[in-house]
Each structure stands twice: as structure tokens, then as C-alpha cells.
Structure 1
Amino acid sequence: MLDVKSLAGGYGAIDVLFDVDLRIEQGQVVALCGRNGMGKTSTIRAIMGALTHRAGTIHFAGQTLVGMPSHQIARLGVGLVPEGRQLFQSLSVRENLEVLARGSSGGWTMQRALDLFPQLGKMLERPAWQTSGGEQQMIAISRALMTNPKLLILDEATEGLAPLVRHQIWQTLHRLKTEGLALLVVDKNLRALSRIADFCYVLERGRTSWRGTGEQLAAERENVERMLTV
């Protein structure tokens, strides 16, 4: 589904990615890990067409994404829950969900999104700025799902959230996996990632430095954690 090979790129004249490999098959959950500043968000931005491309290839569903504008990449079926959520704060919860909705037979509807996060149904007319951080993450996930993605990317899926909300988000990701949606998840919780991920990649200084299955991540979690804290 998504195949990234030998990716290099940066911001203007500043290089931040040098040799990134990443692959996601249909229905897989893949974890992307690394210390702050190692290239995780930059890799996501490259996939979404928002990073200057230097070298390497990015293919999704048989099409090259290099040189393609972000809105066209989204229309191909790549949904993004960005770091910091980036909601439309002055719009209501309902409006945030509807603004990017792309209707299709059997796709994501408002009701289906609310089935994932029932508490949002009680605040549909509330401005986004009046919701908590956890609620905003639920809105951001629901908004991305309303685009009917084939691949959902979550950058810092549970960062800064209360324990109960984190638990709910992980449960939701498990549910999406069982429904066959491919996921690329950036998060620091290796224990939770090892339970859900089919495969994991670790980035160091803009390069893929470790890769393995979810089972290998669980078995080598202490070693990988040392890589993330050095």
C-alpha cells in the first residue's frame, strides 16, 4: 500500500531526512518511533507532500506521491491526524467533522464516527476551543476518518493525554485495525505499540536504524527504549 524507499529531504536548504525506508501493507498497523528531532514528523510531511524531496521514492496504492500536492494525496486515501491536532478552533465540533467529509457508499459517516467516541455526540454544537485536549484528539481522529482514508496516519497519537483518554485512543486504534484500516502510528509508548503493531521502524538522525515485527519490538523493547532515550 505505502512504500517509502531511501527517502531524503528537508526544509529549503536544510536536510533532515537522509535514508528512510518504510512499508505498510493493506490492513497493517505500523509504528514509527524515534527521539524528538529524529525525523518522524518530517517523514510524515514528506509522505503528505509538505517536505522538499531530495531523493528516494514514495508510492501509495501504485502511484508515486513525489511532486503530488497534499490535497491530491489526501484524495487518494491518506488521512492525517497531525501533531497538535490543528482543529478549526472557531468552528463547532460538528463543523470540524463535516468540513472534510467525503461521502461514499459504506464509508465513514457522522454517526459512525460518534460510535467510536460517543462523548462527542453531547458537544456537537460546542466550539472546538471549548473542548479538552483529549476531546480534541478524538475530534481530530474522527475528522480524518470522515475523509474515508485507506491509510490513517497519527502523529503523536496519545501525547499529553490523560491515562483514561490514552486507553480509549488505543482501544479505538485496535478497533480500526480489526476493521481492516491501515494505520501508521507515531507514539512513545512502546508497550502499547508492541501490542497493536504488525511492524515497527525506528528513526535516528533521519535514517531508519531499526526495524522489526511487533513481536520483535516486544522482545527487544528494553533495547529499543535505550535507542529512544540516549
Structure 2
Amino acid sequence: MSNEDITLTAGDAEVAVRPGNGGRIGSLRIAGTELLRQGDRFGCFPMVPWCGRIRDGRFVNGVTVHQMPLNSPPHAIHGTARDGAWGTARVTKDEASLTYDLVEPWPYPARVTEVVGLTEDSLTLTMSVETYDSSFPAQIGWHPWFNRNLGGEDVRVDFTPAWQEERGEDHLPTGNRIDPEPGPWDDCFGMPGGVDVTLTWPGQLELKVTSREEWVVVYDEQEAAVCVEPQTGPPNGLNTLPRLVTPLEPLEASTTWRWLRL
């Protein structure tokens, strides 16, 4: 299995996949226009085996307490897989399948698989976490950095969540659900019918981020980019809303970005 960069093409869409840099999507170009913020930490990276922050880096599985490294003190953030080199299982002109085996500091053996599929007007990312050993809580999510500006007006972010998770001073949900508030945001929202967020660069492009999952974090406090992050649970969800991966039941999720030129 190689971890060299991969280029996928379909029509005038081109995607750069970087297995060696955390399995991230390094670039998405539509008719030559780059949609993702460039740089080793940006693009779009997979959040697995957890999304967002874990309070104090600690989570519980049954009676066992696990401590993750505090890579965003005082919390642990965005999982471990974005820091590793992924392998490439299969590549065609418009699809790539990547794998990553979870290792220390994550305490449970498991394999993550992601399929990146490109068409002329969409990109679909599908991820799974499988184990043949013990059961454990996990999350799957994606963290794209979309360029705020593509050379015209700034992007507009439109969505209609059912609720917003109230954010505490520690940046984690308090457990209270509140009516959605205006941005700027670094907040988690509930969309029980599935994530559905539209980004519009006026006069240029409309891009719709969808997922069957019901949680999305929207982050737009940075000047260069905005983030729309579908995920299988809220931040700190390993503790507050655990989804168990078991030898019989993997955790699976997907998101699709579909675009239209204006």
C-alpha cells in the first residue's frame, strides 16, 4: 500500500487526496478554482475516532477511563487519524479507497476505511471504523476548510438547524439546547433530518454539504476560511452520546458535497 498523493478527476473537477498527510483532501478545484484553504493543516481532514474536543482529554468505556494527549489544552481535539499516514487500497480515475489502523495513543485496535468518490458535480466521502476485538465508543466526522472568498464576494452560509448546542466557556456543549443564534460561530447544531448546509459564493458557485448524520459544527471565526463539519455526534460525544463500535457493528458515515455554477 502506497501513501503517495492521488489526483482524481471527473469533468472539470479535480481532487488531490493526501494519504500521507492524515488522509486529507488537499485540494478541490472546480474549473480551475480552488475551493479549499491550502496548507498542510487545512484542506479537509477526517476526524476519527472522535470529533471536536474531548473534555480534559478523558473518556470512559464502561468502567475504564482513558486519557488522550491534550493537543488543544485543556482538551484533546479532532481524533488521531489526521496525524498519521494512511495507506491506499485502491485507486481509479475518480475514486480512491484509503485505510488507517488506529494505534497508540488510541487504546483500541481498529481499522478506518475511507472511500473518496468524485463525479462532475459532487464529492462523496464515506468512512467506517471496524474492530475485530473489544468494543469502544467512537465518532466519525469531516473538517473542511472552505475558502471564504473565491475572488468575488465572501461566501454565505445558509442552514436551518432544529437547535444549537449551548457552548460553555470551555468551548464544549453544556448539554442545554438553545434556539440557533446568529454567527460568528464555533458551534454545534442539531439537524435531525440530516445535515444540509448551503455555501454560496455569489455569482460564482453554490455548494451543498449533506449527510444523513444529524450533527454539524460550523466554524467561521477565521478570516480566510469557513468550516462546515458533519459528524456522528456532538463535541465531547464519546462521553455524552457514545456510539459503540463492536465486532458485529462498525460505525459508518458519509457526506456529499454537491456544487452548481451560478
| Same fold (TM > 0.5) | no
**Structure number having the greater strand percentage:** 2
Bigger RCO of structures 1 and 2 (CA < 8 A, at least 6 apart): 1
What TM-score do you get using the length of structure 1 for normalisation?
0.30
**Structure number having the greater helix percentage:** 1
